[in-house]
Structures are given as structure tokens and as C-alpha cells.
């Protein structure tokens, strides 16, 4: 049982310049070369940060200043996910038929979700090709913010353009590591499902989402409207209180 | 600047008359036991910080995920003399001043640092199953001539599912100490000044060794939290949980164990080394006399003593009266008694 913290000098892996101290945040930007770094298990890894731009030109150019909130975007192969869903349904169906044959009705009877909802879900996932799960990476006072914002974006599956974010003096408010984001993908996906499927544990127990490629760190623009933040992409709103300001996180 | 914008949004919200944003409690700062690689100064790290600045040379430092488990120790806030006094007071109070130091001989007073596992982080998960509820059902009889309503209780199962996302701060003793009396120290850890436990401190203090492994602790914590998030009467069919941003650490908390002897037996009082409160104590039981036994046993004996003669005489008199009535003549009592005794014992004739 080792009991030492791994303390290292916080320096840019490219130019060697000291990086700014970010408190609980895990992303750093070099003030000299503007490169972004993200804390992996025990070292800094280079990361490309993207910024989402609305697909339609002119959208989101209204009044109010924008706040950019970071998300890990995990891409899941839709075809693979559909195969998993089909197999889960098949397995549950065969279990149900075995029960009908034996006439046994006990607690262990596997239940099937509504066929129409499953087929609708499978068709939608297949049509998307690549299914994106959005894992919020910002720090929040309200732990349900992760679920709420992630669920809203994942459910909408918005289309947007991507541009590299590499302007100097632009810190990213990311407080979640990439490997942690990947581990949360299942739960955010489950939160987007209809209630009848969500309540079917036998079905969900067989679904495991695996990322098709490494997650990407994307900043999404939100506009301030009073106490709320309105998503420029997707159009939904969240309470501004869900997002923890960086004044308490950054020195 | 985005950082400023987010800060400004919360400030403007407060100005506009909305509720003030919830103030974040100051993160407890602990001496990490680590030293600055540049100047060798001791580094203090706020809980959850991933990067810090050295307080001595000002270098920016990266706090990578600690390998293994970090241990912290708390120096006792009270002296052994105060602990002893607290124990004696407790003894006097619990025994209504019946037992004092002149009756109880203090055998020893030991300061032990007791390990507690503490797991902090966030738990995300999903649980699904069936919730069982008892429902009262009223049914009207089929017979139209009677308007009888029958009430039956039926077990009803409803599908249950829940997504769980909560902050976790769980702690439990890491060693088996029957006289400890402390269940967890989560709250205490936030307000006390802990030091990192290094080899030097380990040799200076008497510490109890943890007996539960790291893996078992994680499993125990998870099963405890699973039970916590599922309401009673729920049959869980499937669940999946993930701890993230989690930090497992060992906290060595000081307790004084005061042992004293009384009437040939040893008893232990546990005193919190942090605040001097007695957390648990054994006191000799007063030999109490049962008042019921004191009253009822002599009363029963007195009753028997007072009534044994009538209790014997009354059946004899009844028997004599019956025999006299049966014989339809006066039987001299002594003859009747002699014939009865002969009848019972058997005559030699």
C-alpha cells in the first residue's frame, strides 16, 4: 500500500512553459504555445479542444454573451448498438417462450419491453449511423446537472459544425477526465430511453455501450437568459446555478 | 474571457434579486505529505485539487492520481490527564456517584489511533426491479340480495427503475475494536486539521492496523450505497453502478482507552481524542434486589402458614359430613377417623 501523492512540475509538454494552476479542473492551456493538455491518470496528455458551431448560419447570433461549457462527446457505433438491442430482445423472447412452455410463472420470469418502443429505438439508432453520447465535463454544484444536460443533448442528437478552439487565454472548464466520461456513457444513454424501457432491468442489463473512437472534448455555446442558460445548439435551457463558476476553482 | 463570463452570470443572478448561488463550503486543506519537487517545501492540497501552487517557491505543480491509499493522522486535541478526568466523570455520572476512583482502580490509559476507511467521490448508476406494495381491495359480493363488502389485502408489484447520481462520503472503521463506539468519521474529517501519515509519524504513535482490504472496502461501500438508494420492499432485478472521481483514504483517529478494575473485573471507557467526549463506556452493574421477589416469596409463605390448618380441616369436615349423611346416623368422630385411617392404610384383619 503506497501512500505518496504523485506531484510533478506543471509544465507544457511542448515548450516547457509553466502552466496555469486550475484547481479542480483537469485541462490546462499553455500561455505561450496555446496548446491544450488534459490530465490523464498520472500525466498530462495533449488534447484537441473543439468548439461546436450551429449548423444553420445565423443561428445563435442573438443578444447576450455566450458561455462555453465543455462536453466529452463519445461516439458509439449505431449498427453495433442495434445488434446488441436485437440480441437482448431475442434472448428475452426465448426466455419468455421457455416460461410459456413450462407454464412456470415465478419471480425470475424475464420481461420484455414493448415491441413497438424497442423497434422505434433500434430504427432510430440504426438511422443515425454514429450515435453520440454527450457527457458533461463541467463542474456542477448539482450532481443531477450531468444527467439532465447530458440526457437532453443525447436525446436531441443535434447536428453542428466543429472548429478547433485554440485561442490564447481561453481556459476550458473541464473537470472530468476522458476515461471517467467513457464509464458514464451507459448511464446517460439509459437516461434518454423511454420510461417503459428504463424500467426493464432485464433488457438494460444486456446493453453495454463501447466507444467507436476516443472521446472528443467539445465546447457547446450557451446563452445567458436571466438565471438560465439556453443552449444555442439544441435550444433547451438549464438553470445557471447548475454550472459551477470557475471563480472558486481557479486561483 | 469565458471564466469571467461564468463568474459574471452567477454574480448578476444574485444582483437581480434571485437567490444567492449556493456558497461552496471551503474545501478542507490537508498536508499531503508530499514535497515540492523544486524547493522541497511541504505542500498543502485542497480536497479535489488537481493542480496547486507551492506555498514556498510558487511553482505550479500537478497532483496526479495518488497510487495506493493515502493515510492521514490526527494529533489528539486533549491530553491524557483530561481524558482520564473525562473517564472518571463519566464513571461517577453513570453510577450516580456510587463508584468513584477510590472504588475503581485505573489499570491503564492508552492512546490508540484507530483507522477508518473513507471513500469520497460520485456514484452514478442505474437500478431496476419491482416494488412490492400491499394494497387493500374491497370487493362486493355477487349475490344481489346481500350487500356484503369483502376487504382483502393483495400484494401488488410495480416496475421500478431509477437512475442514481449522488455524491458519496462514506466511512467505516477499518479494524475490529469492540469497545470503539465510533461508526464513521466523515463529518469530523472536514473540520479537523489532518496530517499525512509518514513513516516517522507511524513510529511515533500507537496505531491499530486496518484489517479490511481496499477491494473489500470498495465492495462494502458499494453494497451499502446500493441498499441506500433502493427503497424498502424493492426486488432488484438488475443494477449497474460506477464510482468516479473517487478517492479512498485511511484516517487514523485518536481515541483513549481507559481501563479500570472493579470487583475483580476490568472495564473499558473509550474517550474521543479529538474532543474529549466519552463515546462508549462499560460500568459495573449495581447489584439490584428484585422487589417482587422480596415481597411475593414471604407473602406466599405467610399465606401457607396461616391457612394450612383450615386447608386440611375443611376437606376432613366435608368428608365427615358426607359419611354421616350416608350412614343416616351420628358417627362418633374418633371412630369415623379411625375407620377412615384404617381404610387408607389397610386393616390387618
- Helix, strand or coil for residue B319? helix
> With 0-12 CB in 10 A as exposed, 13-18 as middle and 19+ as buried, what is B146?
exposed
Q: Do B13 and A240 touch (CB under 8 A)?
A: yes
Among partner residues B69, B159, B242, which is closest to A199 by beta-carbon distance?
Answer: B159
Best of A1, A2, A5, A249 to mutate (most B CBs within 10 Å, chain B): A5
Best of B3, B20, B66, B238 to mutate (most A CBs within 10 Å, chain A): B3
Residue B193 pLDDT: 76
Name the maximum alpha-carbon separation found in chain B: 132
Residue A75 pLDDT: 93
Chains A, B: CB contacts within 8 A come to 205
Residue A108 pLDDT: 54
- A197 phi and psi, to 5 degrees? -80, -40
Q: Is the pLDDT of residue B209 over 50?
A: yes
Q: Is the pLDDT of residue B254 over 60?
A: yes
Q: Is the pLDDT of residue B129 over 90?
A: no
β pairing state of A49-54 and A160-164: antiparallel
The residue of chain B nearest to residue A5, with distances taken between CA atoms, is B66
Contacts of B235 in chain A (CB under 8 A): 107
Average confidence (pLDDT) over A126-141: 86
Residue B31 pLDDT: 55
Q: Which residues contact B244 (CB under 8 A, 6 or more apart)?
A: A176, A180, A183, A184, B121, B122, B124
Q: Is the pLDDT of residue A23 over 50?
A: yes
Question: In this structure, what DSSP letter does residue B95 have?
Answer: T
Range B177-182 contact pairs with CB under 8 angstroms and sequence separation of 24 or more: B177/B114, B177/B208, B179/B257, B179/B268, B179/B270, B179/B280, B179/B282, B180/B114, B180/B255, B180/B270, B180/B279, B180/B280, B181/B270, B181/B279, B181/B280, B182/B114, B182/B116, B182/B253, B182/B255, B182/B270, B182/B272, B182/B279
Contacts of B120 in chain A (CB under 8 A): none
Rounded Cα distance between B111 and B204, Å, is 12
The residue of chain B nearest to residue A9, with distances taken between CA atoms, is B61
A233 half-sphere exposure, CB direction, 13 A CA radius: 28
Q: Is the pLDDT of residue A35 over 50?
A: yes
Rounded Cα distance between B213 and B216, Å, is 5
More confident residue, A37 or A120: A37
A47-A53-A55-A60 Cα dihedral, nearest 10 degrees: 160
Contacts of A3 in chain B (CB under 8 A): 33, 66, 68-71, 196-198
Q: Do B67 and A4 touch (CB under 8 A)?
A: yes
A128 min Cα distance to partner chain B (Å): 25
Q: pLDDT-based confidence at A217, cuts 50/70/90?
A: very high
Candidate from A115-119, A246-250, B168-172 with smallest mean pLDDT: A246-250
Residue B32 pLDDT: 59
Q: Do B122 and A204 touch (CB under 8 A)?
A: no
| DSSP letters for B148-182 | -EEEEEEEEEEEEEEEEEEEEEEEEESS--TT---
Of B145, B117, B76, B142, residue with least CA distance to B251: B117
Question: In this structure, what DSSP letter does residue B207 have?
Answer: B
Q: Do A42 and B34 touch (CB under 8 A)?
A: no
Q: Is the pLDDT of residue A249 over 70?
A: no
Q: Do B67 and A1 touch (CB under 8 A)?
A: no
Q: Is the pLDDT of residue B150 over 60?
A: yes
More confident residue, B16 or A243: A243
Q: Is the pLDDT of residue A61 over 60?
A: no
pTM (2 decimals)? Answer: 0.70
Q: Do B64 and A39 touch (CB under 8 A)?
A: yes
Rounded Cα distance between B155 and B205, Å, is 58
Residue B10 pLDDT: 32
Q: Do A10 and B66 touch (CB under 8 A)?
A: no
Rounded Cα distance between A170 and A24, Å, is 17
Whether the complex's predicted ipTM is more than 0.90 is answered with no
Question: In this structure, what DSSP letter does residue B104 have?
Answer: S
Alpha-carbon dihedral sign for residues A171, A172, A174, A177: negative
Q: pLDDT-based confidence at A246, cuts 50/70/90?
A: very low
Residue A216 pLDDT: 94
- B286 phi and psi, to 5 degrees? -70, 135
Q: Three-state SS string across chain A, please? A: CCCCCEEEECECCCCCCECCCCCCCCEEECCCCCCEEEECCCCEEEECEEEEEECCCCCCCCCCCEEEEEEEEEEEEHHHHHHHHHHHHHHHHHHHHHHHHHCCCCCCCCCCCCHHHHHHHHHHHHHHCEEEEEEECCCCCCCHHHHHHHHHHHHHCCCEEEEECCCCCCCCCCCCCHHHHHHCHHHHHHHHCCHHHHCCHHHHCCCCCCECCCCEEEEEEEEEECCEEEECCCCCEEEHHHCCCHHHCCC
Asked whether the beta carbons of B80 and B111 are under 8 A apart, the reply is: yes
Q: Is the pLDDT of residue B142 over 90?
A: no
Residue A167 pLDDT: 67
Q: Given CB atoms, is B33 within the 8 Å cutoff of chain A?
A: yes
Instruction: Tell me what the pLDDT averaged over chain A comes to.
Output: 81
B89 min Cα distance to partner chain A (Å): 40
Q: Is the pLDDT of residue A209 over 80?
A: yes
Asked whether the beta carbons of A136 and A174 are under 8 A apart, the reply is: no
Q: Which residues contact A77 (CB under 8 A, 6 or more apart)?
A: A130, A131, A212
Q: Is the pLDDT of residue A62 over 70?
A: no
Q: Given CB atoms, is B213 within the 8 Å cutoff of chain A?
A: no
> With 0-12 CB in 10 A as exposed, 13-18 as middle and 19+ as buried, what is B272?
buried
Rounded Cα distance between B210 and A4, Å, is 18
Amino acid at each position: 500500500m503506497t501512500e505518496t501523492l504523485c506531484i510533478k512540475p506543471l509544465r507544457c509538454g511542448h515548450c516547457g512553459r509553466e502552466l496555469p494552476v486550475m484547481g479542480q479542473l483537469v485541462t490546462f492551456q499553455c500561455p505561450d504555445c496555446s496548446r491544450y493538455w488534459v490530465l490523464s491518470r498520472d500525466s498530462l496528455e495533449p488534447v484537441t479542444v473543439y468548439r461546436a458551431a450551429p449548423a444553420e448560419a445565423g443561428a445563435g447570433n442573438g443578444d447576450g454573451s455566450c458561455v462555453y461549457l465543455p462536453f466529452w462527446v463519445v461516439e458509439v457505433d449505431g449498427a453495433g448498438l442495434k445488434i446488441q438491442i436485437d440480441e437482448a430482445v431475442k434472448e428475452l423472447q426465448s426466455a419468455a417462450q421457455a416460461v410459456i412452455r413450462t407454464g412456470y410463472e415465478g419471480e425470475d420470469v424475464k420481461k420484455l419491453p414493448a415491441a413497438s418502443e424497442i423497434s422505434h429505438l433500434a430504427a432510430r439508432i440504426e438511422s443515425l449511423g454514429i450515435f453520440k453520447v454527450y457527457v458533461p465535463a463541467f463542474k456542477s454544484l448539482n450532481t443531477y446537472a450531468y444527467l439532465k444536460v447530458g440526457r437532453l443533448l443525447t436525446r436531441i442528437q443535434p447536428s453542428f459544425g466543429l472548429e478547433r478552439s485554440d485561442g490564447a487565454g481561453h481556459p476550458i472548464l473541464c473537470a472530468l477526465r476522458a476515461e471517467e466520461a467513457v464509464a458514464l456513457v451507459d448511464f446517460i444513454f439509459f437516461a434518454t430511453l423511454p420510461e417503459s424501457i428504463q424500467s426493464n432491468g432485464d433488457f438494460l442489463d444486456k446493453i453495454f455501450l463501447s466507444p467507436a473512437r476516443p472521446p472528443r472534448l467539445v465546447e457547446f455555446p450557451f446563452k445567458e437568459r436571466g438565471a438560465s442558460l439556453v443552449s444555442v445548439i439544441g435550444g433547451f435551457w438549464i438553470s445557471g446555478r447548475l454550472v459551477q463558476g470557475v471563480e472558486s476553482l481557479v486561483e | 474571457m469565458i471564466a469571467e463570463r461564468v463568474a459574471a452570470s452567477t454574480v448578476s443572478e444574485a444582483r437581480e434579486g434571485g437567490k444567492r448561488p449556493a456558497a461552496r463550503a471551503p474545501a478542507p486543506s490537508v498536508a499531503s505529505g508530499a514535497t515540492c519537487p523544486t524547493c522541497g517545501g511541504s505542500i498543502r492540497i485542497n480536497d479535489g485539487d488537481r493542480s496547486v501552487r507551492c506555498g514556498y517557491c510558487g511553482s505550479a505543480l500537478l497532483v496526479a492520481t495518488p497510487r495506493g491509499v493515502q493515510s492521514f493522522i490526527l494529533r489528539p486535541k486533549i491530553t491524557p490527564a483530561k481524558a482520564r478526568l473525562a473517564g472518571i466523570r463519566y464513571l461517577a455520572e453513570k453510577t450516580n456517584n456510587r463508584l468513584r476512583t477510590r472504588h475503581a482502580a485505573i489499570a491503564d490509559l492508552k492512546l490508540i489511533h484507530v483507522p477508518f476507511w473513507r471513500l469520497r467521490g460520485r456514484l452514478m448508476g442505474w437500478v431496476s426491479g419491482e416494488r412490492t406494495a400491499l394494497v387493500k381491495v374491497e370487493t362486493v359480493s355477487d349475490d344481489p340480495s346481500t350487500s356484503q363488502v369483502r376487504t382483502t389485502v393483495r400484494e401488488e408489484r410495480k416496475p421500478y427503475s431509477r437512475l442514481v447520481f449522488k455524491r458519496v462520503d462514506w466511512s467505516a472503521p477499518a479494524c475490529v475494536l469492540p469497545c470503539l463506539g465510533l461508526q464513521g468519521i466523515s463529518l469530523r474529517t472536514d473540520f479537523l486539521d489532518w496530517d499525512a501519515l509518514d513513516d516517522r509519524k507511524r513510529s511515533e504513535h500507537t496505531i491499530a492496523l486496518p484489517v479490511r482490504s481496499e477491494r473489500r472496502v470498495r465492495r462494502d461501500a458499494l453494497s451499502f450505497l446500493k441498499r441506500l438508494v433502493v427503497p424498502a420492499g424493492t426486488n432488484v432485478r438488475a443494477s449497474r453502478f460506477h464510482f468516479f472521481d473517487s478517492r479512498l483514504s485511511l484516517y487514523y483517529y485518536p481515541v483513549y482507552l481507559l481501563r479500570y478494575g472493579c470487583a475483580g473485573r476490568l472495564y473499558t471507557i473509550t474517550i474521543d481524542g479529538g474532543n474529549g467526549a466519552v463515546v462508549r463506556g462499560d460500568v459495573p452493574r449495581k447489584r439490584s434486589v428484585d422487589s417482587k421477589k422480596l415481597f411475593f416469596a414471604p407473602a406466599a409463605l405467610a399465606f401457607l402458614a396461616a391457612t394450612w390448618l383450615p386447608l386440611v380441616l375443611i376437606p376432613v369436615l366435608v368428608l365427615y359430613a358426607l359419611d354421616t349423611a350416608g350412614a343416616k346416623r351420628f358417627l362418633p368422630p374418633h371412630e369415623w377417623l379411625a375407620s377412615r385411617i384404617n381404610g387408607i392404610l389397610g386393616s390387618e384383619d
